[in-house]
Every structure is written in C-alpha cells, then in structure tokens.
Amino acid sequence: MDTIGVNLQAVKQRIAHAAKLCGRDPADVGLIAVSKAFGADAVAAAHAHGQYAFGENYVQEAVEKITALAGVASPEAPLLRPLEWHFIGPIQSNKTRLIAEHFDWVHSIDRLKIAERLSAARLAGLAPLQVCIQVNIGDERTKSGVAAGEALALARAVAELPRLKLRGLMTVPSASADYAQQRRYFAQLRQLKNEIVSAGVALGTLSMGMSGDFEAAIVEGATLVRVGTAIFGERKKY
C-alpha cells in the first residue's frame, strides 16, 4: 500500500483506540484529512482509500484542487463517496464568496460580519453551508477565534442566518506536548458547548484535535478531528 494509505490506516487505529479508552464509539469521531500544501494527487490517493472529508486553509489553493477533483466520485466512480470540503483557515471578507461557492463546511467563523457574507453568498441550489464558530481557548497568543465569553452571542446570531447551518464549535489551542494540558484546553471547549446548548442554541459538533493532540481531543469529546501531517507527511513551508 502507498504511504498515504498506510498513514490513514494508522490514524484510524489511533482514533479507534482513543475512543475505546473513554467508552466512545469510534464511528462518532469524524476524520478530516487536512490537505493544505499537498496537491490534488494526494487528495485523490486518500480518497481512493475511502477518505472523503478534506480540510483546507487557503482559498486560492483549495479552489484549484476542488476544481481539479470535481469529476471524482461522479458517474465514472459511483462507489466512492463524493468529496466533502472543509474550510478551516482564517477568513478574509473578500474571500467569502469563493468559500461559500466551493465548500461544504466552514470551521473558522469568528465574527458575525463574515457569517453574514457567507450566508448572502451561498447559492440557493446548494445545501446550507455547515458552520462552526472558532473559539480562542486558553491562550491570548493565538489570536484566531472569538473569546469564550462572546461565543454564545455569536452562536445565537449565526443560528439565525438563512443559508448557514450552525453545527458547533472549533478550536486550535496553542500546541502543547503535555497530554494533561491538551485535555484541559479541549475540556474548556466541551464545557462551552454544553453551556451554549443549555442556553437553547442547538449544536453538536466539537471540531478539535490535530496530529499532535487528537487523542486528547477525542477523550474530551471531539466529533471531528482535523489531521494533516500524520496522513500526508510534513508540509513544506509556504
């Protein structure tokens, strides 16, 4: 088997192991393969091994891949599940139209203006854009994401937008090699999600965990993990 296939299998085993450790069903943990910096060939290789959800950070780069792979899993390959594209990077307002046109999910909503622009740009023929609110958990040095104290208000407002479907919360905590510290960050996002649900806003997704910390995220309730390096290898610098 090729390297990507071997790596995918290893990541799935790690997911299953972490889920069993805490009594969760591994099927409740979705895997997003983060393909940024890798080409359409790498995405196609992972897809051939059954991986269908892919994460991207840079709009231009992603749209090239999405366009190149648009024919995959269509009538010629009916057994493959269609590709599902997740935007996980910082969002500039002049990129919202392209994101709304090409992606299925957006994980990195951190202000209402961006959400409004995405909703306005989402075409009527497409399913609502599935979105998560990115929360800045634990560390001021990482600037992406809304402060935890502002997440409920933003969730309420996003839930009202007609062409978006609010699914949950996402976080990228500052990297820590310490398992206990990793768990503390992810536990904060889980608690915040529970508070928002208690306040009456429906959401179920916890998008958290990357190559270095996804086991801790799963133990704290992640329903989507975003894994790049452990599947595709080290990225070249942009």
Ligand X SMILES: *Cc1c(COP(=O)(O)O)cnc(C)c1O
How far apart, in whole angstroms, are the C-alpha atoms of residue 104 and residue 121? 13
Q: Which of 73, 15, 76 is nearest to 43 (CA)?
A: 73
Which residue among 18, 46, 88, 196 contacts ligand X (CB under 6 A)?
88
Closer of 176 and 197 to ligand X (Cβ): 176
3-state secondary structure of 30: strand
Q: Which of 51, 68, 63 is nearest to 4 (CA)?
A: 51
| Closest residue to ligand X, based on beta-carbon distance | 228
Q: Pull the structure tokens for residue 187.
A: 């536990």
Instruction: Return the residues of window 178-217 that contact ligand X according to CB under 6 A.
Output: 210-212
Q: Indicate whether 91 belongs to the interface with ligand X (CB under 6 A).
A: no
Q: In angstroms, give the least distance from the CB of 25 to ligand X.
A: 23
Closer of 197 and 229 to ligand X (Cβ): 229
3-state secondary structure of 108: strand
Quick note: the x/- pattern for ligand X over 92-121, rule CB under 6 A, is ------------------------------
Task: Give the start-end residues of each E strand in the chain.
Answer: 30-34, 53-56, 84-87, 105-109, 129-136, 146-147, 164-170, 205-207, 224-227
Which residue among 5, 39, 44, 57 contacts ligand X (CB under 6 A)?
57
Which residue among 33, 34, 133, 154 contacts ligand X (CB under 6 A)?
34
Contact residues toward ligand X (CB under 6 A) are 34, 36, 57, 88, 172, 210-212, 226-230
